[in-house]
Amino acid sequence: MYGRIIGSGAYLPARRLDNHELERMVDTSDEWIRARTGIVRRAIAAEGEYTSDLAEAAAREAIAASGVSLSQIDLIIVATTTPDLVFPSTATLVQHRLGIRGCPAFDIQAVCAGFIYALDVVDKYMRSGACRCALVIGAETFSRIVDWTDRTTCVLFGDGAGAMVIKSDDEPGILSTHVHADGAYKELLWVPVGVSTGNAEVEAGRAFTRMKGNEVFRWAVTAMSDIAVEALRHNGLSIEDLDWLVPHQANVRIIQAIGKRLRLPPEKVVVTVAEHGNTSAASVPLAFDTAVRDGRFKHGDLILLEGFGGGFTWGSALIRY
């Protein structure tokens, strides 16, 4: 059995922070942000609005789109770097809010590649017959781990959630997943404190994202180009067979560079970074749902999803829609 995506959903917090507002917060400009990143605005969660709230809203939309009943869901995975609590997992919080009991529910932490990692796990559950209907969510309140005085990072990130309902089917669905990690690059993109290493810093609200943007940029382009080739080769397909690329939305220049390397026409690449910024684990399902809802994806389309993030972690999922 394979996993087939039968519904998707998304949620963005109501508040939008645009580049002009950022001009008043740090030494930056709308021109610089647009030219260097393609970002125009991003959503920011309200005070008291948590990752589980975003995740639940996206999940309810995906479930409604799929037509499945809540009782059919037998696996819940939330990819997030910004869980509500140290524990229990955001997945169990969402499970409870949805009134589902008993099925496995857990979080995956692979930063911006988290949703692809979650698809990789779901694919394995489906193929082994261990699950028949999975709810997979990427949700972040990334704004909570951004230093709003650091212009090199604060202009990049946003909050949001995207979700998919994936049902087992005798036809794919998910054709393949490939995930990778290399922990040698920890310090290029990280939050240098955590529960075990520095709770005081966390409590003081100083758990912030640090990034060597240039180096991450180069890595992201190479890794996301290479995994596209890896996924297509694995399935005996070529770039001409691909209908859509849904890459991680970090920077429009990264996305353009990948398209160029792959010789993929720009109109086949889904780009939402202008409106969402980089929403980490939520970015791929948010972009996917955008293209579903505007009618771009047609039944039978071949779609490649790609993520890249801290660790480094990276991966792809090739699907037949």
Interface ranges with ligand UT7 (CB under 6 A) = 28, 32, 36-37, 112, 151-152, 155, 189, 213-214, 216-217, 220, 250-251, 254, 278, 308-309
> Residue 264 has which token pair?
């993929």
Catalytic residue, chosen from 131, 154, 248, 251, is: 248
Residue 239 is classified by DSSP as G
List of E strands, 219-261: 244-246
Nearer to ligand UT7, 61 or 140 (CB): 140
Nearer to ligand UT7, 192 or 213 (CB): 213
**Which residue matches tokens 């996206």?**
58
> Residue 222 has which token pair?
């190479």
Minimum gap (Å) between residue 208 Cβ and ligand UT7: 15
Minimum gap (Å) between residue 181 Cβ and ligand UT7: 14
112 flagged as catalytic: yes
Catalytic residue, chosen from 112, 131, 133, 154, is: 112
Cis bond before residue 13 (omega within 30° of 0): no
Nearer to ligand UT7, 244 or 308 (CB): 308
Is 159 within 8 Å of 43 (Cβ atoms)? yes
d(CA 306, CA 286): 13
Alpha helix segments (H runs only) across 24-169: 30-37, 51-66, 90-97, 114-128, 151-154
**How far from the centroid of its chain's Cα atoms is residue 282's Cα?**
3
Nearer to ligand UT7, 173 or 310 (CB): 310
- How many residues make up the chain in this entry? 321
Catalytic residue, chosen from 19, 154, 178, 278, is: 278
Minimum gap (Å) between residue 96 Cβ and ligand UT7: 30
Residue nearest to ligand UT7 (CB): 213
Nearer to ligand UT7, 50 or 142 (CB): 142
Nearer to ligand UT7, 28 or 235 (CB): 28
Is 304 within 8 Å of 316 (Cβ atoms)? yes
Tell me the three state secondary structure of residue 40. coil
Minimum gap (Å) between residue 153 Cβ and ligand UT7: 7
Pairing mode of beta strands 160-169, 189-190 = unpaired
248 flagged as catalytic: yes
> Residue 204 has which token pair?
């003081």
Q: How many CB atoms lie within 10 A of CB 200?
A: 8
User: Which residues are identified as catalytic?
Assistant: 112, 248, 278
